[in-house]
């Protein structure tokens, strides 16, 4: 009897004092769509100028591991939101180390990067189940009807995870936010430039709205 | 020469998701392009990508994948919407078409709302990509 009571108390006490779990907001998208640039911009805006999530590069698969920034406190139009931001590696259906050689990378480094990139894709897919909300970052200068985009959004819908689409790179001439709106009419879409910080306020409003 | 393999939906209908993915991947790894009746579930598509990434190596660089299926236009007449919903209910995942090809053969599948363009690597570059035979 005493043992049973002890076991019960041991189970109850940690949960009574456990820290409240923060919401997890993930950044998903194909490689080079600007997920880490978006994450860096969010960190700068809400955690201070020096806060960044990770390095960015024009070479695909720069982010090859899940990166997390905890306790981001966002206030928007009287609404408050505290969350952990999770940057994920870009999801791709193919990875060829020879693509990295075009960027003057050594064969050894290119092979290593490709191997890490494949693991990163697997990790990103596995993390889908851990997300409370997702910002899908798409490159607005490319065709939105790619299977990777459709698979990511389809998987979020299948898991009932709220989504906001950030149509990134609107500072570039070829940007076409309307084509993303036509491809995914059922989702809120905000055209942004993570690099320039354009329209980020609108994205934050959509995030707060999506969560509430 | 390109080999296209047609897979009717009833060939995968009774398989578990894992076995469906394994079957499709085994065919693609033989350098064949799959034309499959119907579509995989979104979660199976993610599973296919995951499994593909596990198997990427010097010879196998991954896949190109494209699924097309009719979408229900919410702005169409109610009768048409009901008809489409009924077809969807009866057909389930049999509706539409899935194309899967090895990345060493299929360079890119471009999809616009009303057409698909499949670009392949030239024979010479395919040989290079498949391990310089």
How many independent structural domains does chain A possess?
1
pLDDT band, very low/low/confident/very high, at A18 (cuts 50, 70, 90): very low
Say how far apart CA A68 and CA A53 lie, in whole Å.
7
Contact of B100 with B28, CB cutoff 8 Å? yes
User: Is A17 within a domain?
Assistant: no
Pair A85, A130: CB distance under 8 Å: no
Per-residue pLDDT band at A111 (split at 50, 70, 90): very high
In this predicted structure, the answer to whether residue A92 has a pLDDT above a threshold of 90 is yes
Tell whether the model's pLDDT for residue A77 goes beyond 70: yes
Q: Please tell me if residue B53 touches chain A, with a CB cutoff of 8 Å.
A: yes
Evaluate if residue A44 carries a pLDDT over 70.
yes
Is B99 an interface residue toward A (CB < 8 Å)?
A: no
| Subunit contact A145:B56, Cβ cutoff 8 A | no
Identify which has the larger pLDDT, B59 or B25. Answer: B25
Which string of DSSP letters, residue by residue, matches A161-173? --EEEEEE-TTST
pLDDT at B94: 73
CB contact under 8 A, A151 and B41: no
* A19 band by pLDDT with thresholds 50, 70 and 90: very low
Look up the CATH number of the domain holding residue A155: 3.40.50.300
Q: Identify the burial level of A210 via C-beta atoms within 10 angstroms of its C-beta, where 0-12 means exposed, 13-18 middle and 19 or more buried.
A: middle
pLDDT(A21) > 70: no
In this predicted model, what pLDDT tens digit does every residue of B106-119 receive, in sequence order? Answer: 998 887 666 788 88
Q: Is residue A7 part of a domain?
A: no
Nearest to A96 among B41, B65, B103 (CB): B103
Beta strands in A78-195 (DSSP E): 79-87, 133-139, 163-168, 189-191
| B125–chain A nearest CA distance, Å | 12
The answer, as to whether pTM is greater than 0.90, is no
Residue B78: C-alpha distances to residues A72, A188, B88 (Å): 45, 25, 15
| Mutation target among A117, A151, A181 for the B interface, most CBs of B within 10 A | A151
B91 has a pLDDT exceeding 70: no
When pLDDT is cut at 50, 70 and 90, the band that residue A126 belongs to is very high
Flag whether pLDDT at B99 surpasses 80. Answer: yes
Chain B residue closest in CA terms to A98: B129
**Contacts B44 to A, Cβ<8 Å:** none
Write out pLDDT tens, residues B3-24: 899 999 999 999 999 999 999 9
A161 inside domain: yes
pLDDT at A142 over 60: yes
Using the beta-carbon criterion (under 8 Å), do B64 and A94 form an inter-chain contact? yes
Residues within 8 A of B (CB atoms), A 132-151 only: 143, 145-148, 150-151
CA distances in angstroms from A77 to A204, B9, B113, listed in the order given: 10, 51, 38
What residues does A136 pair with on adjacent strands? A28, A165
Per-residue confidence band for B121, with pLDDT thresholds at 50, 70 and 90: confident
Tell me the pLDDT band of B129, cut-offs 50, 70 and 90.
Answer: low
Contacts of B66 in chain A (CB under 8 A): 147
CA-to-CA separations, A98 to A25, A101, B35, B122, in angstroms, rounded: 33, 5, 28, 17
Return left, alpha or beta for A76; rule: phi > 0 is left, psi -120 to 50 is alpha, else beta. Answer: beta
Of B43, B49, B110, Cβ closest to residue A93? B49
Instruction: Provide the β-strand partners of residue A23.
Output: A83
Residues in A touching B50 (Cβ below 8 Å): 121-122, 125-126
Q: Are the Cβ atoms of B61 and A94 closer than 8 angstroms?
A: yes
Q: Is A73 on the interface with B (CB under 8 A)?
A: no
Q: What is the pLDDT of residue A12?
A: 54
pLDDT attached to residue B124: 66
Element (H, E) at B116: strand B115-120
pLDDT band at residue B128 using 50, 70 and 90 as cut-offs? low
With beta carbons under 8 A apart, name residues in chain A contacting B46.
125, 128, 151, 155
Determine whether the interchain pair A143/B54 forms a contact, defined as Cβ–Cβ distance below 8 Å: no
pLDDT of A176 over the 60 cut: yes
- Print burial letters for A12-44: b (CB count within 10 Å at least 16), e (below 16): eeeeeeeeeebebbbbbbbbbbbbbbbbbbbbb
Interface residue A95 vs chain B (CB under 8 A) = yes
Kindly tell me if the per-residue pLDDT of B72 is higher than 60: no
> Residue A93 and residue B113: Cβ atoms within 8 Å?
no
What pLDDT, on the 0 to 100 scale, is given for residue B68? 85
Show the domain range for A141: 24-211
A155 touches chain B (CB under 8 A): yes
What ipTM goes with this model? 0.85
Candidates A23, A38, A51; CA nearest to A136 is A38
Candidate ranges A68-72, A162-166, B64-68; pick with highest mean pLDDT: A162-166
Query: Which of the residue ranges A68-82, A153-167, A169-183 would you say has the lowest mean pLDDT?
Result: A68-82
Average pLDDT over residues A154-183: 96
């Amino acid at each position: 009897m005493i043992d049973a009571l002890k076991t019960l108390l041991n189970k109850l006490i940690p949960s009574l004092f456990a820290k409240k779990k923060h919401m997890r907001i993930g950044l998903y998208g194909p490689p080079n769509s600007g997920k880490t640039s978006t994450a860096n911009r969010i960190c700068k805006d809400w955690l201070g100028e020096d806060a960044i999530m990770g390095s960015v590069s024009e070479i695909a698969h720069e982010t090859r591991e899940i990166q997390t920034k905890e306790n981001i406190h966002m206030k928007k139009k009287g609404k408050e939101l505290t969350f952990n931001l999770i940057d994920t590696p870009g999801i791709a259906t193919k990875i060829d180390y020879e693509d990295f050689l075009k960027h003057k990378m050594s064969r050894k480094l290119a092979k290593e990067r490709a191997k890490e990139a494949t693991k990163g894709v697997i990790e990103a897919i596995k993390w889908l189940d851990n997300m409370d909300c997702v910002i899908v970052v798409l490159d607005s200068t490319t065709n939105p009807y790619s299977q990777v985009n459709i698979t990511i959004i389809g998987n979020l819908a299948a898991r009932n995870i709220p989504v906001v689409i950030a149509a990134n790179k609107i500072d570039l001439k070829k940007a076409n936010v309307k084509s993303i709106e036509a491809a995914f009419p059922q989702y809120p879409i905000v055209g942004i430039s993570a690099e320039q910080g354009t329209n980020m306020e609108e994205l934050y409003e959509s995030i707060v709205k999506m969560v509430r | 020469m390109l080999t296209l393999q047609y897979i009717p939906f009833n060939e995968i209908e009774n398989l578990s998701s894992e076995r469906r993915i394994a079957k499709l991947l085994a065919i693609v790894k033989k350098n064949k392009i799959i034309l499959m009746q119907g579509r995989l579930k979104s979660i199976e598509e993610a599973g296919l990508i995951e499994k593909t990434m596990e198997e990427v190596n010097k010879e196998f660089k991954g896949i190109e994948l494209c699924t097309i299926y009719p979408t229900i236009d919410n702005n169409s007449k109610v009768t048409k919407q009901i008809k489409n919903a009924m077809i969807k209910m009866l057909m389930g995942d049999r509706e539409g078409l899935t194309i899967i090809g090895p990345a060493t053969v299929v360079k890119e599948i471009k999809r616009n709302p009303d057409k698909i363009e499949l670009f392949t690597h030239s024979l010479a570059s395919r040989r290079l990509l498949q391990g310089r035979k």
